[in-house]
Every structure is written in C-alpha cells, then in structure tokens.
Chain A
C-alpha cells in the first residue's frame, strides 16, 4: 500500500541530540534531530527499494503549513533526492499536517486505497490551535483507511516525553485507530533510531513469500504489496495470511460479480528454491524464465477459457480470496490475488465458502443416488423477498394519504373492468384487507365497502352491473367463492380476524383454506356504512 513519509520541519528539529559530546566536538558535527530524520528516512527508503519494489512512496514535510515535497512515486531515487533538501520552518502545526495528508491522498487515490503513514517527529507538542494537544482532542478521522507509524525522535530524558507519547497515541486513535509509536529505548542516537527503522520495516514492509497450490501443482509466489494480518474490531480475533494459498476450484467471473475485497495484491511467481533446475541453473536468470511455472500456465488458461473464470482459494484459516487475470492499459497482463474480508460468510451471493464444492462431484453423487436434484448455482439466494419486489404481492405502504388513495383507486379500476379483472380485483382486495387488519385500521374497510357499493350503484354499463353485485353483495354465491379460492393466498389462520371484519364483501380465509363469510345482510351493511 502507498506510503507517505512525513518529516517534521519545525524549528525544534534543529536541536542537537544528547549532551554527552565533549567540548572537542564541533557544534556542526553534533547530529541534530533533523540529521537523524534524514538518516532514518534514507534507511527506510533503502529497505523499501530493496524489498518492496512496487511500493508508491510520497514525501511530505510539515511545520506551520504542510508541503508535499514529492508526490507518490515508485522511483525512490526521487525521494532520496528530496530528502536532501528537507527544509526547516517554524512552529509545529498538526492541523496543517492532517489536512495536508488528506488532500494528498484524496487527490491521488480517492478514499478507498489504504495508506501507510510514517511520521518522523521530535515529539514536540506545539502551542495553541493546531498543536498536538488540540488535534488529539478534536482531530477528525481520515476519510480513507490508514495506518500511522510514528517514529518519535524524543529523548526519553526529555521532560515532555511522557505527555508527548500519550498525545501521539491519541493522534493515532483519533485519525485512523491503527498504528504504532516507535521510541528510542535509552538515548536518542543514530544507532537506536536505526533499530527502530528495522523494527518498522520488519513489521510492515517484509515481502511475502508463499506458495500457490492447486492439488499437486504449485508455484512459489510473492504478493505486492505484502498482505497484512487482519484484526477484527469486534472480538479482537486475529487472522493471519497463510503461506500456502490453496486453490479450491474455479468460479465464473459473472458469478463472482466483483465483490468488495479487503485487499488486492499482484501475484508474482518466484523461482523455486529447491533443486528443480538441476543441470540448468548455471545459465543464470535466463533459466528462470525457461522453467515451466504453474502461475504462468494458470494465467494463460484464465485468458483463453471460453468463459471468464477466476480461481477461488483459501488464504488462511476461515479466510478466502480469489485470483484473476488483470491487464492494465499498457497490455501487460498479470495475476491479481484479491483477499476477501476474513470469515466464511462474507459475500452473500457466494454463500458460505465452506459449502463451495465441485460441480462434477455433486452431479456424479446425485446420479449415483438416483436423485434428480437441480444443480445449485450462483447467486446464493437468501430467504425472504425484498419489499421492492412486486411479485406475488406488492408491498403496501399507507404512510401517506396518497399511498392509501392509490390503492383504493387501483381496486376501483379493477372493479370497473370485471369480470376480466376478477383475479386482480380479489388480489388487491385481499391485500388491502390484510394490511388493514395488521394495522388495526378497521374504518378503512368500511370506506372500501362504501366505495365499491357506490361504484355498483353508479355503474350503468350492463356488464359491470351484472358482475359487481355477486361480488359485492352476495358473497354466498358459488361464483364468488370459486373466484376467491382460486386467486387468494391464504393470509391468516385466526378466528380473531373474523370479528374484525365488519363487512360481507371481505371474504375471510380460515386455517383450513375455506372461506367463511359474515352473513351480514345488505341492509345491515348499509346501516353500518352510513
């Protein structure tokens, strides 16, 4: 992941370190915190250029304002060049620093790429607004995932030491909740600092070495950037990437459907260290590219397969990922390992990863057993229908008068087109009735009855007037029973509902799928309505 090196450029950085230099040492020869900073950064850049070649690094300095000395680049020579010209300004202002980082990252990477920040400071707190105290209290979280490593060039004997540590720790918590402070243990000197850099590099900048394994086929690989262990925030459970990336099988790209991933890494084959190339090894590097490698074969096959596939694999205990071919605009094609969030059930449409099994074995076993079970396929469906899916029933929402009136009008439209729309009429009628009962909204049932009755009286169309009465007023007639039974989905099984229904038009289903009706006569119904 891209790294920003931030160097403190406040005036206090010019303080010489330690007091154990005799008078014979010239003032100019006593190292200052600034010279230490330069040493530290150079050491870090050396490590990155040796071990993490594809890393992007940027260099920033901050004082009363933050300056981007060198934006993200893979050419670390440029960074080294800029280190030589680190300026020195005035006060320490963390506000300027944080907004500077945010701007740099948003401009270069947007808000999705995780960033590592290496802050080298002398631990001075600054004063007033923008001081470390101020920012630790009111600072904002970075809008992108980040991790801060702070290398504090603060002498343990300094009187601000304790507070400075505490505030820097708060800074980490406030801005990204992830990171570590590295402090000299005894005295502030060049050697101690060098050890600290080694620690940082060992922790976060060690290249990954592992194996991709597909049955008996395998290849040594490295991942860039190196994958980080994952610590779940809820239960502090730690997940580590295994050294064996074990292939489980293949899934079509469309089924995989570009899921959100935890991190992405370039997968590069390494030459195998065992004596595989006996007799050829003396040809040097050239021989490596002539030794058949599983990854290259895999890449080729992923590119030519008639459908596009990606490779499902296990990258740790209960941790999964997938490998796919990727080519950028320059037509250079390679393999990418995308690591999902840890867990077995992280992509809902793929279901539980541990339930992924070979299709052919499934078919074979089912054939042997004589079952004609349909072969399951992606996406894995999850139980319940969502509210926005209109079949078989539209979701009812009467939160606004509009929603209610729209339903009444819809019912009325169907009523006017009886008998062709009988099915739809009953479906709507039952849906409204169900909803009214759930809400305890009895008065609306009376209104619906009144509306339908009015429609009956008012209609002069011969066909409609013939059809409507049996539906509305003589529910006992066989036609209407058949109509309802054939169309209605049974809703409730409780006699309680019976008592809630005031009107004969509303057929009430019972548990045995039969319908009983409230035998209210037309006259009584009229009394009730008006």
Chain B
C-alpha cells in the first residue's frame, strides 16, 4: 500500500470557518444579446415591450460572498473529483469533520464502496467513494454551526480530537487490505497485516481564537504521539492496521487580507519523526484552489497535459470552426517525463466503440494507459471533447518532438471512461522471422477455417462477480471422462469461470486433427456436422442422442446406397484402396472421435449405436482402433499412413493424458448379446435401408428395456469405479 491509496481529509466544522471569505462574486445574468436571441424567439416578437421594461427594472444584484467553509468544501470536492476520475476505486478518500469548539467528530464516509449505516448495514446503493455520496453527506452536515457555547475556546483540543480520529481512520483497513488479510487467513498463514500508509489533509483556520497559544510544532508533536498510540492499539487488535508511514498537510485558511492572523507559518514538507512528515500552508480563499490542485497533483503524481488545436464548430455558425485547447489531468506514466505535454490533435477515427484503437484489427503496442479528466470539467471545449470521446470515438494525438510528428498518444473510451494510451514509438519486435519459416510452416492444409469456428465458439466474456456461487458445482467434475487432471483440487478451482473455460477447451479438443489430410471425418462435415458438435458437449439430451444416432444411420445409408465411395476428396485415400476399406477408415475415425468424447452415459449410448450399426455391416466385431489403424498404416501409401499416424497419435495422447479414463478401462471389442446378433445377422445379407435400421434400433431398445438386461455391463461397472460416471449411471438405472 502506497502513501496515496488512503487519504483522510479532516475539515474543521466550527464557526471559525463560517467567516466570509472576503471575495465578492458579481452576479451577471447575461442581459441582452446572444443568450437571449439564441433562445429561439424572434426578436420582433418579444421586441419592443421587453426592451422597454428593462429600463425600469434594476439590472443589478448585490454580489454574493462565499464563506470559508463553502470554499473549503468545494475544493475538497474538486480534489475528490480528480482522484475518483483518474483512479476510480484504486485510491480512497475519507472525509472527517471535526467541531473544534465541541471536540466532536463526524465521518462523512468509510473506505467501503457500499454505503453503510453505523451498524454496518447497507443503505441505498450510492458508492461511498463517489462524489454524489460525499456531496449529499456535506449537505446533511450543513454549514458550521454558529452557536457560541464553546467548551474548547482558545485551545487546540478540538483539532487534536480530529487528528486522533483521522489517525484512527487511517488504521482501519480498506477493502483491498481486508481482502489481503482474509486471503492470507484462508490460506492458513495466520494474521497477516498489510503494510499501511496514508495521508491526512487538514483544513482549518489556525488563529489565536481557534487554537489559542498552540503552534504548528505542538500539533505535529501531537500527531507523532497519536500515530504511536494508535499503532499500539492496532498491534494489539486483530482488525486495525499499524500506520507505517503518514503525511500531514495542514492548510490554515483565512479570509482575504487576514492571513497575518494565522498562528502557523507555511513550511514545506519536513520530517517530524522517521515515519511521520508534515507540511503547513497558510492560504487565502483566492489561492485555495491553486493550492489544492498543487497538493492533489503532488499526492497522486498527476500531470497536466493539453490537447491542442482541436477543431470545433461554433454553435452559432456551424460552417466555420475554430481551434481550442483542452488541458487534462492524468496519472504520470512510467515512461513519461515530468513536464506538461502539448499533444496535437491529429486523427480522430470515424469508427466507434474502441475499434479506433486497433486500426485494421491490429493490436497496437501500448506502453502505458491512464484515465484522464479535464482540468475545467464544465468549459465548453472540455465538454465538447469529452462527449466526443465518451460517445465511442478515439483520437490519435501527435507529440511534437525534434524528430518530427509522431502520433503516439490516443484518447479513447473504455466503458464511459476517458483513457489515454501511449504507444511505443519503436520496439524490438522488428524484422522478425515469419512463422511460416519455422516448425510446421510448410504445411498448407491446416484446418484453418475449422479453427476459426473453434475460436468463435470459445469466446470469453466477463462473468458477473459472484456468478459461480449461485451455480451448482460444474458438472464436468462429476462426469469423469478425461477430466481427471483437476479432480483432486477441484473444490475451489471449479468455481472460477476461468477454470470452466479451461475445462471447456479440454473437452472441445479431445479429438482435433490439425490438418485436413489428417482426418477423413472432418471432411464429412456436410453429413455429420451435428454429430461432431453435439458429441463435444458435456451432456447430451435424449433429443441430442437421437440426432447423433440419425447422423450415424445417415452415414450408413450413404454407404448402403450402393457403390459410392465416402463423399470426401479422393486424396484422403491411397490409390486403389477398396471402397470397403475407405468406409472402414471413416468409421474407425468416427469411433476414435466418439471414444475421445465419452463425457456421459448418453455419449456411451451413441458409441453403442455406432458399434451396433457397424456390426451389422461387418461380420467381425469392431476392433481396437489402434490395431486397426496400425494395420492400415502398414500397408499404406502416403495418404493412408498419415491419417493413421494422426489417429494413433491422438490415441496415444489420450492414453497418456488420461490413464484412468473409461477409454482404456473398457475392452475395445464388446461382446454382443446373442439375440441382437441373430436379428442383425439376418440383415447382413441384404444391406439395410434407413427405415429398417431405425426399426431395428427401436425394437432393440424395447427389447432391452423389457428384459432389463444391460448391454455392455462391463462399461457400467468400470465406470462405477470412477467417481465421475457413477452418478449418471445410477440415474439411468432409476
């Protein structure tokens, strides 16, 4: 925690601050002319009578005067505005009022972002670390009271109470510190107290009337004692944090011309003890804003840069445009030098929604980025620029340098915030070897379009915080399959969306040949596309299953239609390969594919379906794909060899990565139940059409349910061993 993350602003809320500032504000209601005519009424319409009346009604309002309190409040709010705009929730402010005459203190907000009442309950939904909340709190506190009963007249006791309370506030942990402490406690490291630093900005009026004979040194000494005693309390407590480093800024505010009544003298930052520093300023209201901005920029390491030469259309004359400059605050970036920069308006992008930041879909090499906020938020050029940017446009800015113009800075919106990105002018990534020159670079038949689809189906989105808590534990942990990897440590892991994403990728890539020639199956997409996508899902509904079965029968019927070869480019097969063998290859790969994706019991049923269908076709039962593949490979010409090598590789990968998966546990050649084989054997003679297949299938299913006999009992039993599949198989029995 750096010094700037926590700041307490301590404000004297006593009658000393109720004094008039001494600065008159003339009221100017902007009589005639522009503003009037712009109103849209025709001059002749309001014309004569109106003008006539002006002569009789005094055009003058007595000037108004702010109190010291008003000046202090609006400057504190300005400080807060800049900090919240530039740092959002990274830097926190707390405002503390103290009635130096009463010795009472009042916190306007806490470190929390959620609004709470005194008992810690949430009230409303305005962020406590925001301008609306603070403004409302100021309104509730009201002006300093003007009553005269003073219990602490002429002593600094009231202010001391304030300082003590401010130190106490600093030692209370911020939400991020609490998070650190709880995560440390959760991981069994015991109580870990994060390093805690902070600043106190104190606005008061140090006159003889208010603090009596006290001096700034007395207050500083008191601060050191207060920090020391608070640290003693904090060390003994389990929720308070000791303050390692603390800085006090004492602003003594006096009406114009009365700064000589101050009991304290301005003094730059100086050490009081080795952990406490202080600075003192005597200011008048006319200099207060300047001083507060000074303090704010130095506390938060801000820089004012200016966008120059912004062309803006005049309201009254939309044809011509003039150039304006807009100065803005931003955090100092690691690379930028200290001085203010002039950044010339260069290229506003026509595209909306941030795409201007990545022209042509190319990620730019950004060195740093910071939120920005206009110095003068309500000036016309400022509002014009912020509207332009917040509505989705990006603007490239040039930094004039001795090497000529270079557009290196970009103003851009990120979700209704203005940001400035600084791009690297040059980096080491130049003249690099192309990826095509390296490993795998010569291959031209990668399944690029399929992978582009894969990318689209694996897009990440920001899950809402707390999303995972509402959900039942992700299913994939229960499903067994190939997800043994994370099972041991899954309780917490499974909750994070990022782990859901990893699991999804694992599931989707169980069988994913890299090249087109590496797979017959994925060249058949036109015929079995649904099967290929559905099987990769972690669960299959009954409808999905039927859909998959249909696809398999579809394939069978294609084959059954007679003499056609599998509808894929001939390049997949070696010359002279028999049609039957070609089909065999297709089924072999299909089986490999489904076996790689046995995520649930329903998946197994799809596999069953395939195996059943195949056994109608071939008298031999389905052999182990590995054996089958290697058999083919031995004979093979180039094409066949590659495919089989690929399939075998996938197999090996699967086997090595998932030693316990049902793929290996179950025998590859399941025995058929006698009755089914008989039925199917009769069909072997004449090739079945789709209808007969469907009939058999349904019949077979009925048979099974009737007898209660189970096909592949070993499959179920082996999966019962697995914690994962146990549940779903039980469900099936029920």
Contacts and interface: CB of A to CB of B under 8 A. Distances in A.
B470 to A, nearest CB: 9
A297 B448 contact: yes
A478 interface: no
A450 interface: yes
A438 B135 contact: yes
Contacts of B69: 439-440
B681 interface: no
A292 B518 contact: yes
A109 B427 CA distance: 6
A322 to B, nearest CB: 8
A314 B61 CA distance: 66
Contacts of A458: 50, 53-54, 57
Contacts of A406: 378
Contact of B39 (A380, A401, A413): A413
Interface stretch (A19-27, A58-66, A189-197, A259-267): A259-267
Contacts of A305: 452, 455-456
A529 B234 CA distance: 54
Contacts of B717: none
A253 to B, nearest CB: 5
B301 interface: no
Interface in A107-164: 108-113, 143-145
B443 A444 contact: no
A333 B435 contact: yes
A417 interface: yes
A78 to B, nearest CB: 15
A298 interface: yes
Interface in B128-163: 130-132, 135-136, 138-140, 142-144
Contact of A376 (B142, B363, B428, B463): B463
B462 interface: yes
A32 to B, nearest CB: 35
Nearest to B447: A297
Contacts of B127: 383-384
A383 B365 CA distance: 28
Nearest to B374: A388
B431 A330 contact: yes
Nearest to B48: A460
Interface stretch (A9-17, A38-46, A268-276): A268-276
B254 interface: no
Given A297-B446, A358-B500, A496-B142, A399 B387 contact: no
Interface in B106-138: 113, 127, 130-132, 135-136, 138
Nearest to A286: B442
A361 B459 CA distance: 10
Contact of B57 (A269, A300, A404, A454): A454
Contact of A492 (B50, B136, B455): B136
Given A395-B377, A412-B30, A264 B383 contact: no
B40 interface: yes
Contacts of A435: 135
A356 B462 contact: yes
A354 interface: yes
Interface in A207-265: 214-217, 219, 225, 234-235, 246-261, 264
Interface residues of A, number: 155
A372 interface: no
Given A299-B435, A439-B74, A441-B70, A358 B501 contact: yes
B335 A144 contact: yes
B46 interface: yes
B653 interface: yes
A289 B35 CA distance: 74
Contact of A289 (B57, B136, B440, B449): B440
B508 A332 contact: no
Contacts of B686: none
A301 B451 contact: yes
Contacts of B64: 443-444, 447
A492 B139 contact: yes
Nearest to B457: A360
B440 A308 contact: no
Contacts of A528: none
A164 B411 CA distance: 47
Interface stretch (A91-99, A345-353, A513-521): A345-353
A425 to B, nearest CB: 13
Contact of A214 (B62, B364, B505): B505
Given A251-B459, A269-B438, A354-B496, A256 B443 contact: no
B88 A348 contact: yes
A54 B432 contact: yes
B324 to A, nearest CB: 15
B35 A413 contact: yes
Interface in A272-327: 276, 279, 288-302, 304-310, 312, 314, 322, 324, 326
A269 B442 CA distance: 13
B463 A457 contact: no
Interface string B346-384: 000000011101100111111111000110111000110
Given A354-B497, A360-B457, A440-B67, A334 B433 contact: yes
Given A259-B366, A328-B432, A460 B50 contact: yes
B504 interface: yes
A523 to B, nearest CB: 19
A405 B425 CA distance: 45
B453 to A, nearest CB: 9
Residue among B78, B135, B460 with most chain A CB within 10 A:
B460
A389 B416 contact: yes
A399 B25 contact: no
A377 B464 CA distance: 10
A294 B89 CA distance: 41
Interface string A363-405: 0010000000001111111111111111000111111010111
B78 A249 contact: no
Contact of A257 (B412, B433, B460, B465): B412
A455 to B, nearest CB: 8
A351 B423 CA distance: 22
A236 to B, nearest CB: 10
Given A288-B440, A332-B434, A354-B498, A258 B364 contact: yes
Contact of A113 (B417, B424, B463, B518): B424
B29 A258 contact: no
Interface stretch (B509-517, B569-577, B583-591, B700-708): B509-517
Nearest to B131: A387
A279 B633 CA distance: 12
B257 to A, nearest CB: 19
Contacts of A250: 455-456, 458-460
Interface string A51-78: 0001010000000000000000010000
Contacts of B40: 417
A246 B502 contact: yes
A264 B427 contact: yes
A416 interface: yes
B572 to A, nearest CB: 16
A390 to B, nearest CB: 6
A481 B537 CA distance: 59
A389 B386 contact: yes
A258 B366 contact: yes
B649 interface: yes
Given A384-B130, A389-B416, A413-B35, A359 B460 contact: yes
Given A54-B428, A144-B335, A458-B53, 4 more contacts: A290-B440, A376-B461, A379-B415, A440-B70
**5 smallest A-B Cβ distances: which pairs?**
A293-B440, A357-B497, A308-B361, A215-B509, A440-B143
7 contacts: A215-B502, A225-B428, A250-B455, A297-B448, A356-B498, A356-B501, A398-B74
